[in-house]
Amino acid sequence: YYSGVDFRSTERRCKEMTDIEKLREKLNMSGYKLSYVADFLSLTYQGLLNKINGNSEFKTSEVKAISDLLQLSPEERDTIFFN
């Protein structure tokens, strides 16, 4: 808790926003290695894992890039990232 911001609730919202299981399924189905996806998004491998695991949020530009890379339909994108 810092300056009126409860980071625990913020962390819960981050984890709730991304459907981790569906994202992992799409990544596995794509055949791309996570190291490639991380490079594609200009992230470190650990940074990508933090986002996949819900420890930090995907930026809008990252959602667009990963959606393009995985060829997600708008519905799939919304289900995974904005549920």
Per-10-residue mean pLDDT, the chain, length 83: 43 61 95 96 96 91 96 95 86
Which pLDDT value is given to residue 17? 73
Which pLDDT value is given to residue 16? 56
Which pLDDT value is given to residue 7? 43
What is the DSSP-derived secondary structure letter of residue 54?
A: T
Which pLDDT value is given to residue 31? 96
The amino acid that residue 9 corresponds to is S
**Residue that the structure tokens 């949020």 belong to:** 57
In the three-class reduction of DSSP (H, G, I as helix; E, B as strand; rest coil), residue 58 is classed as: coil
Backbone dihedral angles phi then psi of residue 31, each to the nearest 5 degrees: 85, -5
> What pTM value is reported for the model?
0.77
